[in-house]
A and B are shown apart, each in its own frame.
Chain A
Amino acid sequence: MKNITAAAFFALIILSGNLSLSARSASSGDELSDLSMKKGIVLVRITTIHYNDLLPWRAQAGSGYTVLGLVLEGNRILVLSSDIQNASLIEVWKYSSYKKNIAKIEKRDNEANLAVLSINDPDFFKDLKPIESGRDPHMGRVVTASTVDNDFRVHREDVKITDVRGSSDFGVTTIPFLIFRTQEPFSGGGLLLCGIKLCGFIGYSNKENRAEAVLPSIIRSVQNGSDHPFVSQGFELEDLEDPVLREYFKIASDQTGAFVSRVMPGTSAYGVLEEGDIILNIAGRDIDDRGFYNDPKFGLQKGQVLLVRDGDRIRRSGEIIPVTIFRNGRKMEVKITLKSYEGNAERIPTVVEGKPPYLVESGFVFVELSLPYLRDGYGSSWRSRAIELSYLFDTKRIMEKPGKERIILLVGVLPDEVNRGYENLRSIPVQSVNGKPITDLKQLHDILSASNPKHFLMELTSGMKIFFSSENREMANKRIQDRYGLPGLSNFK
């Protein structure tokens, strides 16, 4: 929900302050009072910095937006992790005071896309009280979606949970989200309430008011868990409905199951499942031909969800899950030991936190290929404008085994006499230096800083060859740093 619509949302709610009645049917039973609601939330203003991936030493003031934060036990505040990405300042205020307080990030979980904030002033929480956490709601249940405007006026409307869908939009872990439609936009976030209890944290709302909420079981898990509470799954499933294909794989006609199309390194499934396996059963539940199981609460869900969730309980690292697979024409049992994602599956990162790493050497600027780079450099149509890089993204993004290697790009040249003749090179992957494949910036830096040999030959994937001379290197680097006002020739250790 981090976008400019946040401001528009608040303006709209202010204009229609009495919406809260019109959008609701007669309330039934207990419901959370406006005051209890206001005590359970804060408003969070986030200001971001935008890093230019093409001139990576430059930072620009980014956008600012306001979202709703949930008060947690232990004087903590819950927000979405994606909302505080590249935040330069996080301000928090509550219903009872105009005072703005500066928040600190305590914990982030990018897999669950949740973050926990703290406030220095312990008195801040004195007149706040966390809303009691309820059970995960059933699919089809009508619940109350609720939020506040900038003046803490409460808006409520009844919504129906229309779907619960597993998504791994923020990482490699597939987590179920509640999906529903609202009448008013909830682009600044909000809560789902089941009576007086919390049953969802609204994290995303699109232009058509289709909204998503995080399950209360997941919030509890992030709140109580260790730094990386979330267990990963790390595999993708493909349909196996075609009877000819099933016959070819020699699966009995009454046996259901789905095809493992990818296993990601650094995840629970890595080293246990293999591409081409057919998964028949996970944790005692049958997997159908499309990779789903029938969840008593949520209906058809992706099989992966069984590895993170056991009823309303979120599974923990170390749990061992039995999985029945079909491999090489044989049915067999394997055991997946759950663990959290180690963060080493991506060769081309989809999210870059903070300053993008760079290296300037003899005026040649090198960066790591990432999704933000593709978007910054080529706009939304990057797939048609950067054919080689898009192909790398589509085929080489996930590594075959855990590692930290990256694709290094020569992004451009700061013209100087040492790089004369090469000024027009743009955005080409580096293949090797003196025949050695280049897979990270530090390695590249260390190779080029050696005083021997006298010349280094860099080859780009385009076939272009660049000679670096160790003789006048330092002088040239200093000259270029001064002329172009670079804060440093690199920004990594």
Chain B
Amino acid sequence: MLSAGEYGSLRADVKDISINSVVRIEVNMFSYSYQEPWQPPSLSNSGGTGFIIEGNRILTNAHVVSMANTIRVSRANQRKDYDARVLFIAHDCDLAMLVVDDKEFYKNSAPLTIGDIPELNSSLVVIGFPIGGDRVSITRGVVSRKDMDLYSHSNIDSHLILQVDAAINPGNSGGPAIQDDKVIGVAFQVHRGGENLGYLIPPIVINRFLEDVSDGKYDGYIEFGAIGIPTVNSGLKSAREIEKFLNPPDTGVMIIDTLKDSSSDGHLLPGDILAEIDGHPISQYGDVELNGRQVSYTELVDNLSAGTNINTVVLRNGQKKKVSFPAKATNIIDFQRKNYETPPRMRLAGGLLFQPLDSDLMEAYNNDWINSGRTEILYHYSYHVLHKLYSKKKEYVILTRRLSDPVNLYAGRFVHRMVESVNGENSDDFVSFNHLIDKNLQNSEYLVIRFVNEPMPLVLKSKDVRESHKRVLENYSVRYSQYPPGKNGAQK
């Protein structure tokens, strides 16, 4: 246990210079309703923290400035606030870079520099503007854990995180964690279930972001994309002849699948034993040694930029083989990524609201679908990638609402069902769905929509649907019937 004396000797002291470079961020942000996606966005205020880095830039979390209408920033000792704008935003690692055009803002500030990844149990301070008061707040803690974990902003990306026991609260987001006058983390999320489980974005992720945007645009993370299982099982070892070909014999993970379009897709094959990656031998549990600690082999490749070659050694069909392939990103799971950029996509036809199935729609309707037993929607969302359902449809479209109108008197039974086809043609994604609706409203007497796991078709007269358009928009004060707008612009 640490005595009071020892505590005083810890290294994390904060100089005024650090506090002076920390920025309060106040944001007026948009949010859209997925239940009434045609409504103008509602506005709300929220706040966070940022810090000044080299080149008069401000670094903060993506979630602090996502969907921002206006951003106002001020430093701890400033009496005035300034307009800021977003230069780059990276939702997949929850980082954003801002700039203030008024140079006065930066007067007498010193940029903070990014340090190295801190040791376990080393102390740090977190500076920011959390709830509980108006002035700057400083809180202390130690690094409790380093691990790959989920970044909840996008809800699908996992990168390295630092767990700390400092008290991190709403408003701390985007604030720096300081050790030896250097930033060794950006506070970004907490674990709601436990106590004193705060999380920081580590230097490796911050530096990757800074490098990525140095060419003027953000490319994002690559996806290694191989799913491997441990090879501790003796039957597996002998069937794949691991002991015969690999030394030591407790080496390698078995690849059971690769994500479509990811780096390893088409290069690593199901059944391969992945023995080595970029010169690091992989243990039978999937660990590699990195700077003296055991880490998951996925951590090794997580921070590569697109195009970098990944060099692996695999055991395939009783032969050790070198397999190299370039790192690249995949968009196959992007539908599960929360949308922070655009208004909800939607299509209203005959008073029936169609929306593509994505993370935000799932959040809005998850409970309704569970309660109404719409297992086909839950299944297609959850198993789209794992069961390779994308080979049939790239994107699913759900009839989510019926705005009651004479044209859709008998359509109520189809609400919360997933579209299979339009006039006999497969609707592959939301774009093709819209195209099929447009085409058949123009050229066919009937609009015939079939739904997954439903033998009865929905049949509307194209003429009735066209005639209902104005009436529905007027009766329900709907701003537009389609987003993104169709060929003819946002038709009214």
- In the assembled complex, the CB of B196 is this many whole angstroms from the nearest CB of chain A, namely 29
Which residues in chain A, 454-489, are within 8 Å of chain B measured between CB atoms? Answer: 454-455, 457, 461-469
Any A CB within 8 A of the CB of B378 = yes
CA distance A239 to B456 in the complex (A): 9
With a CB–CB cut-off of 8 A, which chain B residues contact A362? Answer: 235
Is A465 a contact partner of B270 (Cβ separation < 8 A)? yes
CA distance A248 to B449 in the complex (A): 13
Q: Which residue of A lies closest to B381 (CB)?
A: A387
- In the assembled complex, the CB of B172 is this many whole angstroms from the nearest CB of chain A, namely 34
CA distance A238 to B189 in the complex (A): 51
With a CB–CB cut-off of 8 A, which chain A residues contact B232? Answer: 420-421
Contact A242-B373, Cβ < 8 Å, known A248-B459, A467-B233, A467-B239: no
With a CB–CB cut-off of 8 A, which chain A residues contact B182? Answer: none
Any B CB within 8 A of the CB of A124 = no
- From the candidates A242, A383, A420, name the one contacting B375 in the complex (CB within 8 A): A383
CA distance A245 to B235 in the complex (A): 59
Any B CB within 8 A of the CB of A492 = no
With a CB–CB cut-off of 8 A, which chain B residues contact A463? Answer: 227, 256-257, 270, 386
For chain B, what secondary structure do more than half of its interface residues adopt (helix, strand, loop), or is it mixed? mixed
Is B256 a contact partner of A465 (Cβ separation < 8 A)? yes
Any B CB within 8 A of the CB of A319 = no
Is A388 a contact partner of B379 (Cβ separation < 8 A)? yes
Is B233 a contact partner of A419 (Cβ separation < 8 A)? yes
Is B455 a contact partner of A275 (Cβ separation < 8 A)? yes
- In the assembled complex, the CB of A245 is this many whole angstroms from the nearest CB of chain B, namely 5
CA distance A245 to B458 in the complex (A): 8
CA distance A421 to B228 in the complex (A): 12
CA distance A319 to B448 in the complex (A): 39
Is B238 a contact partner of A455 (Cβ separation < 8 A)? yes
Is A417 a contact partner of B459 (Cβ separation < 8 A)? no
CA distance A390 to B377 in the complex (A): 11
Is A467 a contact partner of B373 (Cβ separation < 8 A)? no
Any A CB within 8 A of the CB of B484 = no
CA distance A390 to B373 in the complex (A): 9
Interface string of B253-272 (1 = CB under 8 A from A): 01011000000000000110
Interface string of A411-436 (1 = CB under 8 A from B): 00000011111100000000000000
- In the assembled complex, the CB of B338 is this many whole angstroms from the nearest CB of chain A, namely 20
With a CB–CB cut-off of 8 A, which chain A residues contact B332? Answer: none
Any B CB within 8 A of the CB of A276 = yes
Contact A387-B379, Cβ < 8 Å, known A244-B459, A421-B230: yes
Any A CB within 8 A of the CB of B409 = yes
Q: For chains A and B in complex, what number of residue pairs have CB atoms within 8 angstroms?
A: 104
With a CB–CB cut-off of 8 A, which chain A residues contact B239? Answer: 454-455, 457, 467, 469
Any A CB within 8 A of the CB of B410 = yes
With a CB–CB cut-off of 8 A, which chain B residues contact A262? Answer: 455
Number of interface residues of A (CB under 8 A): 40
- From the candidates B376, B386, B410, name the one contacting A245 in the complex (CB within 8 A): B410
CA distance A469 to B448 in the complex (A): 53
Is B410 a contact partner of A388 (Cβ separation < 8 A)? no
Which residues in chain A, 348-362, are within 8 Å of chain B measured between CB atoms? Answer: 362
- In the assembled complex, the CB of B236 is this many whole angstroms from the nearest CB of chain A, namely 5
Any B CB within 8 A of the CB of A34 = no
Any B CB within 8 A of the CB of A380 = no
Any A CB within 8 A of the CB of B60 = no
- In the assembled complex, the CB of A371 is this many whole angstroms from the nearest CB of chain B, namely 14
Is A394 a contact partner of B373 (Cβ separation < 8 A)? yes
- In the assembled complex, the CB of A35 is this many whole angstroms from the nearest CB of chain B, namely 51
Contact A394-B376, Cβ < 8 Å, known A383-B370, A461-B387, A468-B235: yes
Q: Which residue of A lies closest to B458 (CB)?
A: A245
Is B256 a contact partner of A464 (Cβ separation < 8 A)? yes
With a CB–CB cut-off of 8 A, which chain B residues contact A418? Answer: 233-235
- In the assembled complex, the CB of B105 is this many whole angstroms from the nearest CB of chain A, namely 50
Is B375 a contact partner of A391 (Cβ separation < 8 A)? yes
Between B234, B375, B413, B456, the greatest number of chain A beta carbons within 10 A of the residue's beta carbon is seen for B375
- What are 12 A-B pairs with beta-carbon distances under 8 A? A238-B456, A242-B459, A244-B460, A245-B459, A261-B456, A262-B455, A387-B378, A394-B373, A395-B376, A455-B235, A466-B233, A467-B240
3 smallest A-B Cβ distances: which pairs? A242-B410, A391-B379, A421-B233
Which residue numbers of B lie inside 8 Å of A, CB to CB? Answer: 227, 229-236, 238-240, 254, 256-257, 270-271, 370, 373, 375-376, 378-379, 382-383, 386-387, 409-410, 413, 446, 448, 453, 455-457, 459-461, 464
